[in-house]
Structure 1
Amino acid sequence: MDKKELAQEVVQIARHAGAAIMAIYSKKDLGVELKADESPLTLADQAANEVICRALEKLSVQYPIISEENKAVPYETRKNYDYHWLVDPLDGTKEFIKRNGEFTVNIALIHAGKPVMGVVYVPCFDETYWGAEGVGAFLEANGKTTRLEVPAFKLADEGLNVVCSRSHLNDDTQAFVDKLKNPSLVPTGSSLKFLIIAKGEAHVYPRLGPTMEWDTAAAQAVLEQAGGSVIDEETKQPLRYNKENLLNPYFIAYGGLQQ
């Protein structure tokens, strides 16, 4: 498998899903409804999911698909997966509903619990971020492709840029921020939080609250291939995937952290 070639095929799939999202974004009625967990679902989530799943099923390499919008695959089945796709067709649905542009299409390839390829497309900005193991991380925008490499920093440095949620800082996150020297907060929606770090515009993203595997996998692949890391706050190891429970543990995403 040529990961670079496969990544480019997935980039096109993500862009097509983005076009499906933008077709609905331009309409007055976004078709908002609530899922069982009371999180919002729109016509765009469903349209993008259909585009992605159909296209992945037509690729020359075939892997199972786990998507936020598909019926859950039992752990007894998926625990045997070697490779699988992990998809969030529209991350940042709340941002989509607010029409602030901070939503993304996310497609990751997981191998033995590790994201080895990730594509994140930002439809409103027409930006594509992708990373693949052994290839690197890249941003495609304005007709140019730029290699992403995170700058080095230490947590003791003054004035670090800390990515955070647009809504609020919970107590654990505030406690983390309070340990830093004169940090600047960078409120951002969706998986863009990781990409700001991958671009070198922020240093750290403490996520001391709930997320799901599909929320993080693609952007983690990009950040790791840019030289960053996404660390489980409890084990201090890289965030892992295809667990029995698809809920992520608390984690911290770093740029080029130096000990």
Structure 2
Amino acid sequence: MTPLCELLEHIALGAGAAILDVYEAGPNVCYKEDHSPVTEADERAEAIILDRLAAAFPQIPVVAEEAVASGRIPDISSGYFFLVDPLDGTKEFINRRSDFTVNIALIQDSMPVAGIVYAPAQRCAYVADEGRAEKLLLDQSFNVEHRQTIRVRMRGAALTAVASRSHNSSETEAFLVGQRVTDYTSVGSSLKFCLLAEGKADVYPRFGRTMEWDTAAGDAVLKAAGGSVVRLDGSRLLYGKTRQDDDSDFANPHFIAWADMSAMALVQY
């Protein structure tokens, strides 16, 4: 485990504890201007993450979901910054499902180079740094009791897909048909990337709208495990996208996440 991974784990576990406190008590839900839900768990977790990142890395800017929603956007012109989603899968959280996550990623030159995806209700996390990905299992006291290096699997005779529970689409269905996918799992949040990274699935197509903080940590884990996230034209999904003509700052285009890149097919819509 690298020092950066150790620190990211410490920060994510602290944010996850705050989230679980709200989860057990039952959240109060508000809605942002884009009509997406937000709870006090999002806000508490983000405050913890921002405070601890600032203490550890005062020179590295942080782009965080709720801060951006409030108009607080740092200068990322150096190409070196953190992306934070304090609670990915807020709908899952509100509906008391367990597949919500804390996401922190470090971006360098438009690419995610390290990150953590932590699912506090499942007591597991996925971390990546220096080209190595691990899955962590936590005990009842939320201490790490097991670490396992993870790697994507090679494509077999048939593909297994993961798809968004809350954001399915006709384009997704068409992709699954076109790739002859007969087995797929619906799961919320960035855990979709992690299922690919640990060899439980082959492809995650996303034709709905996402933001960079939704994907960066999962992308980092998948990349370190041997997979890749690409746009529909096959080019790598990049980060730090501002001043976009066709969308807002930090918005992602449609993408496909692949475990085995030899399985990749270009899809045009």
- Fold shared by both chains (TM-score > 0.5): yes
The structure 2 residue matched to 1:81, chosen from 54, 78, 82, is 78
Q: Determine the structure 1 residue equivalent to 2:190.
A: 191
Structure 1, residues 107-128: CA drift from partner, whole Å, max 9, x if none?
0000111100011111001111
Q: Determine the structure 2 residue equivalent to 1:166.
A: 165
Letter in 1 for 2:137: A
Q: How many residues align?
A: 249
Letter in 1 for 2:251: L
Q: Determine the structure 2 residue equivalent to 1:132.
A: 129
> Where do 1:14-33 residues align within 5 Å?
14-28=12-26, 30-33=27-30
Letter in 2 for 1:12: H
> Where do 1:133-152 residues align within 5 Å?
133-134=130-131, 136-142=132-138, 143-152=145-154
After TM superposition, the runs of 4+ consecutive aligned structure 1 residues lying more than 3 A away are 71-74
Contact 2:166 / 2:188 at 8 angstroms: preserved in 1?
no
Are 2:224 and 1:215 aligned? no
Structure 1, residues 161-220: CA drift from partner, whole Å, max 9, x if none?
110111363111111001123520100000011111111111100001110000000010
1:257, distance to aligned residue in structure 2 (A): 2.8
Identify the range of structure 1 (46-55 vs 81-90) with the bigger mean alpha-carbon deviation.
81-90
Are 2:40 and 1:38 aligned? no
SS at match of 1:177: helix
> Where do 1:79-118 residues align within 5 Å?
79-118=76-115
Q: Determine the structure 2 residue equivalent to 1:232.
A: 231
1:79, distance to aligned residue in structure 2 (A): 4.6
Contact 1:11 / 1:119 at 8 angstroms: preserved in 2?
yes
Letter in 1 for 2:125: T
The structure 1 residue matched to 2:44, chosen from 43, 47, 50, is 47
Are 2:250 and 1:246 aligned? yes
Rounded to whole Å, the distance in 1 between the matches of 2:42 and 2:212 is: 17
Structure 1 residues without counterparts, runs of 5 or longer: none
TM-score relative to the length of structure 1: 0.92
Letter in 2 for 1:258: S
Letter in 2 for 1:26: E
Structure 2 residues without counterparts, runs of 5 or longer: 139-144, 243-248, 264-269
TM-score relative to the length of structure 2: 0.88
Percent of aligned positions that are identical:
42
Rounded to whole Å, the distance in 1 between the matches of 2:252 and 2:167 is: 19
Letter in 2 for 1:256: D
Note the aligned Cα RMSD (angstroms).
Answer: 1.6
Rounded to whole Å, the distance in 1 between the matches of 2:49 and 2:3 is: 17
Rounded to whole Å, the distance in 1 between the matches of 2:168 and 2:30 is: 26
Rounded to whole Å, the distance in 2 between the matches of 1:103 and 1:60 is: 26
SS at match of 1:119: strand
Change (3 A) 1:17 1:140: same
Letter in 2 for 1:105: V
Contact 1:66 / 1:72 at 8 angstroms: preserved in 2?
no
> Where do 1:3-18 residues align within 5 Å?
4-18=2-16
Structure 1, residues 108-161: CA drift from partner, whole Å, max 9, x if none?
000111100011111001111101134x0001114111001111116xx32x21
Rounded to whole Å, the distance in 2 between the matches of 1:39 and 1:182 is: 30
